[in-house]
Structure 1
Amino acid sequence: MQNRTYTADAEPGDSVTVAGWVHEVRDLGGIAFLILRDKSGKIQIKLEKDEMDEELVETGLDVARESVVSVSGDVKEEPRAPTGVEVVPEDIDVMAEADTQLPLDPSGKVDAELSTRLDNRTLDLRKDEVKAVFEIRAEILRSVRDAFRGLNATEINTPKIVATGTEGGTELFPITYFGQEAFMNQSPQLFKQLMVGSGLERVFEVGPIFRAEEHNTPRHLNEATSIDFESAFFDHTEAMDACEHVVKAAYEGVAENCQRELETLGLAEEFEVPEGEFPRLTYEEAIERINATGELDEQLVWGDDLPTEGERALGEDVGEHYFITDWPSEIKPFYIKDHDDDETLSTGFDMMHPRMELVSGGQREHRFEHLVAGFEQQGLDPDQFEYYTKMFKYGMPPHAGWGLGGERLVMTMLGLDNIREAVLFPRDRQRLSP
């Protein structure tokens, strides 16, 4: 739309055309106000019934909330207006009339259930608080990409339709691919490992992953955004350093570029960029600290995975982002390398927010014979993964990396109650549309 001015840019003395949605209409008798909302904010349109063309005033008064309009006129200073200025209109064009019966209230005056909001996501994002979440999400993704580039990593895009699952098992969505069985990829793990063996050496990807887990919790999705990193000639400690750097960069980007959105969400004063190094606890230390809290009915023993209640108790005890390292080899995937001096310990690590796990990573097994043995130990057929394993015969360097849950990062950063609030159109057991 040519010559359009955003409402936030309208200055006294300007002649402007603003366009957006009708937020509300206030009829005060001899005078009325139409509040117009666009991406940048809101502006007051002044309708003086005795001073203006009758048809112009009627158009402004009769238009339904959430209709799309454009308004041309002069900008005047008005200290009593919400933004200190108002537009005295010369023309009001109703570009798209809205139904008077809205499925939810975009003004936010009337609350709606999360399911109703997700069913009507377009309307939901007209609310400032919801829009702020996705502006922040966009800044997080921009910041992590910049951080990866600062680490000299190359962005890649790997297939989402694959012949075999990354980790096997039942957590796969099968599809028909030209008469063959195929699957939606659980992770870019195997492909990004292949890329560190190429001339690229250090890579990252931001893209969807698919898990056919029958979860129905506030922190699980069946389609999620994974932020992945992999580097040749890195060990697990260097991978953790990179992980810490990228997560801090996400917080720094939001702090620097999203103050208005943080204010909208009521987080501006309490939002903090993590400082210092994230604590690194061994798995053994982690279960000892969880047991010491007394929050679990049964004490954890070596080899147990950490239950949600245990993660929560440990998170409250640590009180900041932290790593859990040196997991038992038996509970980490086949591609995670064991410590050279103790094969019962893996180089796998998790990076945790006090509320939940955000990252899983580790050093990878780069030796062909050990990799194949790892497949067999976990009951997987190495022949099904030949496209992957054979490349380890041709000079695969030591390497390490990790995957970070994008929605979980948004959720924990902003204190959201449900992970579905951090994704535009969630996919879970109940939701396939919109």
Structure 2
Amino acid sequence: MQDRTYTADAEPGDHVTVAGWVHEIRDLGGIAFLILRDSSGKIQIKFEKDEMDEELVETGLDVSRESVIKVSGDVEEEPRAPTGVEVTPESLEVVAPADPELPLDPSEKVDADLSTRLDNRTLDLRKEEVQTVFEIRSDVLRAVRDQFRDYDCTEINTPKIVATGTEGGTELFPITYFGEEAFMNQSPQLFKQLVAGSNVERVFEIGPIFRAEEHNTPRHLNEATSIDFEGAFCDHTDAMDVAEGIVKAAYESVQENFGDQLEELDLAEDFAVPEGDFPRISYEEALERINATGELDEQLVWGDDLSTPAEEALGQDVGGHYFITDWPSEIKPFYIKDHDDDSELSTGFDLMHPRMELVSGGQREHRHEKLIEGFEQQGLDPDQFEYYTKMFKYGMPPHAGFGLGGERLLMTILGLDNIREAVLFPRDRQRLSP
């Protein structure tokens, strides 16, 4: 629409054509107001019934909320209007009428449960708070990309249809691929390692991952966005440095670009850019601190994974972002390298927010023989991964990396209650549409 003016750009004295959705209609008798909303904001349309064309007034006041309209007229200053200006219409066209019976209220005067919101995501996105969440999501991903580039990383895109799963097991979605069985990829892990082993050295990817876990919690998805890093000639401490920098860059960008919206919309009342270095706590120390809280029914012992209550207890104890390092080798994936001086300890690490895990990473095993041993120890057939393992015969440098959950990052930045609020069209055990 070439002659269209966004509502935020309408100035007193302008003759404009604005287009958008009918947000609200207020009929006060001799005068009435229609609030038109577009992506830039709202503007008031004034109808003086005795002084305007009867058909124009009737069209404007009979249109149902959320209908798409186009209005042309003069902009006048009006301090009492929501944005300080209003349009006196010369013409009004109903471009696309809306059904008067809406499944939810985009004006946010009537709340809707999350399931109803997700079933009607297009309407839900017309709410200012919801739209802001996804504008912030876009900004976070931009900030993350910029920070990776500051770390001299190249963005890559790896296959999402694979012959074998990254970690094997049952957490795979099988598909039929030209008569053969294939799977949706759990992670870009193996591919990003192969690229880091080329002359590119430092790479990152932001893309979907698929896990057939039968979770039904506020923090799990079956299709998620993974923010991945892999760097040649990096060890696990280097990878932790990068992960910390990425998370801080996301917070700093939200603070810089959305500080006003966070206050206006009551998003993330406790929002604060993390300061200082993230503590690095060994797995052994983590067990001790969790057990000392007395929050668990049973004491944790060496080799236990950390349950959600355990993570929450430690998160409350630490009070901010932190790393858990030096995990037992036996509970980390085959591609995680052990410490040279202690084969019982891995170089694996997790980056934690007080609410949940955000990142899993570590230094990778770059020695071919040790890599094959790792496959066999975890009951995986190395022959099924030959495309991956054979490249380790041709000069694979030491390397390290991580995977960061994009939705979990946004969820914790904004204090969202459910991870599905951070996804436009979430995929979980119950939801395959829209």
What is residue 383 of structure 1 aligned with on the other side?
Answer: 383
What does residue range 32-431 of structure 1 map to in structure 2 within 5 Å? 32-267=32-267, 270-431=270-431
User: What's the CA shift string for 1:35-60, capped at 9, x where partnerless?
Assistant: 00011111100010011111111111
Task: Output the CA distance in 2 between the equivalents of 1:181 and 1:261.
Answer: 48
Tell me the SS of whatever aligns to 1:50. helix
Task: Output the CA distance in 1 between the equivalents of 2:272 and 2:418.
Answer: 21
Task: Output the CA distance in 2 between the equivalents of 1:162 and 1:261.
Answer: 42
> Which segments of structure 1 move beyond 6 Å, counting only runs of 4 or more?
none
Under a length normalisation based on structure 2, what TM-score does the superposition of the two structures give?
Answer: 0.99
- The amino acid that maps onto 2:156 is I
- The amino acid that maps onto 2:237 is T
Q: CA deviation at 1:127?
A: 0.6
Task: Output the CA distance in 1 between the equivalents of 2:351 and 2:140.
Answer: 17
Q: CA deviation at 1:293?
A: 0.1
Task: Output the CA distance in 1 between the equivalents of 2:233 and 2:74.
Answer: 63
Which sections of structure 1, spanning at least 5 residues, go unmatched? none
What is residue 26 of structure 2 aligned with on the other side?
Answer: 26
Task: Output the CA distance in 2 between the equivalents of 1:78 and 1:97.
Answer: 28
Residue pair 1:236, 1:363 contacting (<8 A) in 2 also = yes
Task: Output the CA distance in 2 between the equivalents of 1:260 and 1:103.
Answer: 30
Identity over the aligned pairs, expressed in percent? 83
Q: CA deviation at 1:113?
A: 1.2
Which sections of structure 2, spanning at least 5 residues, go unmatched? none
User: What's the CA shift string for 1:52-73, capped at 9, x where partnerless?
Assistant: 1111111110111000011111
Residue pair 2:18, 2:70 contacting (<8 A) in 1 also = yes
Tell me the SS of whatever aligns to 1:2. coil
Tell me the SS of whatever aligns to 1:243. helix
- The amino acid that maps onto 1:59 is T
Tell me the SS of whatever aligns to 2:51. coil
Task: Output the CA distance in 2 between the equivalents of 1:52 and 1:150.
Answer: 59
What is residue 14 of structure 2 aligned with on the other side?
Answer: 14
Specify whether residues 131 and 83 from structure 1 end up closer, same or farther in structure 2 by C-alpha distance, changes over 3 A only: same
User: What's the CA shift string for 1:358-404, capped at 9, x where partnerless?
Assistant: 00000000000000000000000000000000000001000000000
The number of equivalent residue pairs is: 434
Residue pair 1:259, 1:268 contacting (<8 A) in 2 also = no
Residue pair 2:64, 2:99 contacting (<8 A) in 1 also = yes
Task: Output the CA distance in 2 between the equivalents of 1:373 and 1:3.
Answer: 67
Q: CA deviation at 1:258?
A: 1.6
Residue pair 1:132, 1:264 contacting (<8 A) in 2 also = no
Q: CA deviation at 1:248?
A: 0.4
Superposition CA RMSD, Å = 0.9
Q: CA deviation at 1:265?
A: 2.8
Task: Output the CA distance in 2 between the equivalents of 1:185 and 1:386.
Answer: 17
User: What's the CA shift string for 1:267-308, capped at 9, x where partnerless?
Assistant: 477421111100110000001000000000110011000111
Residue pair 1:286, 1:324 contacting (<8 A) in 2 also = yes
